[in-house]
Structure 1
């Protein structure tokens, strides 16, 4: 194996302020209380951030309500100009944003630089193109914006989830109050500066940082017309109960326990790359991660040997090093959950394996791990771990693979690996998953809708379908 010399990206490319306020009505304003955001790779405090209180949410929603009249009255082509401008500024400042995202989130710089940031800009470009064509989107001859959208996003893809939420909302003529995740607020606050640089009218986008209570104030606010949430299934249930009967529109993108199905005619090396990408991309902090590997019995031994060889080459360490494949776990709380469920997997009889790798002494780290001898009764095969942990199950027939893949309360994504196009179509048709990848995994495109079934939520983000949730 090659020894790679360190190739760190410079931290000095991005300037992090010692403290940040709330972005309301085009300006940063202080909050009464603050919380700290830390670098999960080193536990170093990056900044102090304002903790949004109910009165701050009131001010942000009032600013969005005030801005809605003028913003929604703009011609679609005029709104498009702002979205195009935002997209171009994101491209121009993508190096800063990538470093900031890796510092605050813990993901490898090559992922934030080569995956997240290009997709963020692409979503704004894509929805800019829709802004003056809404009457042709298939939602009636005169679709109207809903009003003020309250949006709550998770910590695993902070800037990308922001783009998924804000871009279609603005294109459709809505205004926004967004609450980023408590552990990853910095890229959203950087985006506030992008909005100012793009001369976006004050109040069109407002960003209120805080913890769960701040999100709850926002969701329950009487002047919010639309709620969009990405996060855990448990919080999604609470939000659904809170908005029931209020007339608010709701979309939820929740947890997943995706099956990655490898048939005996699959190209093994290609499938192994897809398995690794499916579960170890972003440390497994992916709602659609391929966390259950279903492999046909006749090739299980060969595939696992190849998978273990490949895992032994993965480099775990400094997220800012361009050679790093697996960065830091986002928080101490998430590390504790991954550790607990992995220990339960071992105690329930599954066989655990990790490649030899030296983990840094500071920060939150977990070695890439696979469990074999897993049955559907194991908790690691049923519960979302949200970390770099893969459960391996086997099957003999396509019907058994489909039955095992669908034997989950979730239904967000799935993967199929086979050389037969007819098998891809036949199996995909029977999988209860919102997204089914064929001979690839974790491929995203702004033109393609994303979302799930069952406990993975409802509604779609991305594509033409992503506009529907923001139009009356």
Structure 2
């Protein structure tokens, strides 16, 4: 098996613990690589290296234009190695190669976009109300950023953080999920090749208590950007608050996918399938609550079943496969437990409802694509994030009822509306409490479009111009251009 090293200050040191842990292939349930088991000493070395690069190294001397050129060069290298990186991600997280190849082909755009944006961040002059003074603002990097990423789309979600952070002039210490660390370590090699100075991008792998906690609490870390569960996000945000650190939290979701009777039902069915069974439901924007208008409920469910029954499970590297395994053993057990919870609550499994036992599933952690009907919105299956291929179908009467049900959940990451009525589409988009609302589509993202949550789905925004502001802080500079000092004991 391949044995990885940490990435600290442009070097590849062994972990302080001198121990490694195995990472497993979700399709075969077999270990394929060894990942360094980092600890607080490794974190301290990485953060101090990032802080040196921020304050005293060559990175601190680069112009914004020079930073942008490095980002664009990194984008070129990712594009060159896209297939290699996609293959590693499939081996590590079990998602479809077609999905991961698409992601890796698209990821360079983040580095091109923020590379171009790096020298477009401008301050302002302020027309003061006080004579004899001149004032202007400048935007400065917030500092060392801790980027903590999940296991479902490791490099995509990491890029959402580090591209704007580096464009802003920050330095980064990344802590990937212990389940999917390999691709982040591979990406780190490209930083050196692109010409980034040592210490700008560092990676410490390991587990939450040994790596995540000391990283969050390190006094030289100024900003924490986290993607993951809302429970973990709360703990991180509380710890950050004790030290007055900046945070950005992209947390869970329980997104409503609302289908009205006037929708294009064929497209809506495909959208519903995409919303929950693509990526095996392991996405924060999963459309796990399908709200269907009563007048079309039964017919639409039949249409949905016809598509879902044909979904092919198996080897995620195969172009024929449509549903891959669940990424981790704990998540696999969690999904199966939620299926039992749904049955006990009175929901009806009209499709799936069990672990994957088809021959093509092999020894992997597969769950059959599952659809529940007779779901009430107050059931746990409709309120709690399952993060797997499990869909809850909920009836609604009219537009007002759909809005009431859609918003009656503590999450607010995404939502979708399927209708041919443009007025209804606009009204729904205005009243849905979600950071992203799709109309007659699902799972569309862009490096240009801001992404983030309402309510318990998080804080801050990633992507678009909004994201770079998350890594900057404004400084106001006052210059006395001729004002006479008056009473020194009175505010100017």
TM-score under structure 2 length normalisation:
0.90
Equivalent residue for 2:144, pick from 132, 145, 148:
148
Structure 1 position 81 matched with structure 2 position 77: no
The Cα offsets for residues 310-333 of structure 1, whole Å up to 9 and x where unpaired, read as: 012211110110111111100110
**Alpha carbons 2:312, 2:321 under 8 Å: kept:** yes
Equivalent residue for 1:314, pick from 273, 286, 311:
311
Structure 1 position 122 matched with structure 2 position 109: yes
Match in the other structure for 1:12: none
The Cα offsets for residues 375-415 of structure 1, whole Å up to 9 and x where unpaired, read as: 01211101100000000001011000000000001010000
SS of match in other structure, 1:225: strand
Match in the other structure for 1:95: 83
Write the distance in 2 (CA, Å) between the matches of 1:326 and 1:206. Answer: 34
The Cα offsets for residues 270-303 of structure 1, whole Å up to 9 and x where unpaired, read as: 0011101111111101011100000001011111
**Alpha carbons 1:260, 1:414 under 8 Å: kept:** yes
Mapping 1:204-215, distance limit 5 Å: 204-213=200-209, 214-215=211-212
SS of match in other structure, 2:372: strand
Write the distance in 2 (CA, Å) between the matches of 1:430 and 1:384. Answer: 22
**Alpha carbons 1:64, 1:205 under 8 Å: kept:** yes
Write the distance in 1 (CA, Å) between the matches of 2:92 and 2:465. Answer: 31
The Cα offsets for residues 316-358 of structure 1, whole Å up to 9 and x where unpaired, read as: 1101101111111001100000000111101111100326982
Match in the other structure for 1:191: 187
What is the RMSD of the two structures over their aligned residues, measured on CA atoms?
1.6
Equivalent residue for 2:22, pick from 21, 36, 39:
36
SS of match in other structure, 1:192: helix
Unaligned runs of 5+ in 1: 1-16
Match in the other structure for 1:9: none
Deviates more, 1:327-336 or 1:347-356: 347-356
Write the distance in 1 (CA, Å) between the matches of 2:302 and 2:105. Answer: 34
Structure 1 position 292 matched with structure 2 position 292: no
**Alpha carbons 2:326, 2:332 under 8 Å: kept:** yes
SS of match in other structure, 2:428: helix
Cα distance, 1:136–1:124 mapped onto 2, change above 3 Å: farther
Write the distance in 1 (CA, Å) between the matches of 2:81 and 2:320. Answer: 22
Structure 1 residue 72, shift from structure 2 partner: 3.5
Structure 1 residue 245, shift from structure 2 partner: 3.7
Unaligned runs of 5+ in 2: 126-135, 474-492
Structure 1 residue 137, shift from structure 2 partner: 10
Write the distance in 1 (CA, Å) between the matches of 2:91 and 2:417. Answer: 34
Match in the other structure for 1:453: 454
Structure 1 residue 141, shift from structure 2 partner: 4.4
Structure 1 position 279 matched with structure 2 position 280: no
Match in the other structure for 1:134: 121
Write the distance in 1 (CA, Å) between the matches of 2:162 and 2:265. Answer: 40
Structure 1 residue 465, shift from structure 2 partner: 0.5
**Alpha carbons 2:27, 2:362 under 8 Å: kept:** no
**Alpha carbons 2:123, 2:139 under 8 Å: kept:** no
Write the distance in 2 (CA, Å) between the matches of 1:137 and 1:80. Answer: 21
Mapping 1:211-290, distance limit 5 Å: 211-213=207-209, 214-290=211-287
Write the distance in 1 (CA, Å) between the matches of 2:48 and 2:72. Answer: 26
Deviates more, 1:249-258 or 1:349-358: 349-358
Write the distance in 2 (CA, Å) between the matches of 1:108 and 1:315. Answer: 12
Deviates more, 1:401-410 or 1:27-36: 27-36
**Alpha carbons 1:137, 1:464 under 8 Å: kept:** no
Structure 1 position 464 matched with structure 2 position 450: no
Mapping 1:164-175, distance limit 5 Å: 164-175=160-171
Structure 1 position 21 matched with structure 2 position 5: yes
Structure 1 residue 134, shift from structure 2 partner: 1.0
Structure 1 position 104 matched with structure 2 position 92: yes
**Alpha carbons 2:144, 2:223 under 8 Å: kept:** yes
Write the distance in 2 (CA, Å) between the matches of 1:36 and 1:219. Answer: 25
Match in the other structure for 1:353: 350
Write the distance in 2 (CA, Å) between the matches of 1:442 and 1:462. Answer: 15
Cα distance, 1:215–1:43 mapped onto 2, change above 3 Å: same
SS of match in other structure, 2:386: coil
Write the distance in 2 (CA, Å) between the matches of 1:388 and 1:126. Answer: 33
The Cα offsets for residues 96-132 of structure 1, whole Å up to 9 and x where unpaired, read as: 1111111101001010012x11331111111111111
Write the distance in 1 (CA, Å) between the matches of 2:124 and 2:362. Answer: 53
Write the distance in 2 (CA, Å) between the matches of 1:35 and 1:222. Answer: 28
TM-score under structure 1 length normalisation:
0.94
Match in the other structure for 2:322: 325
Match in the other structure for 1:61: 47
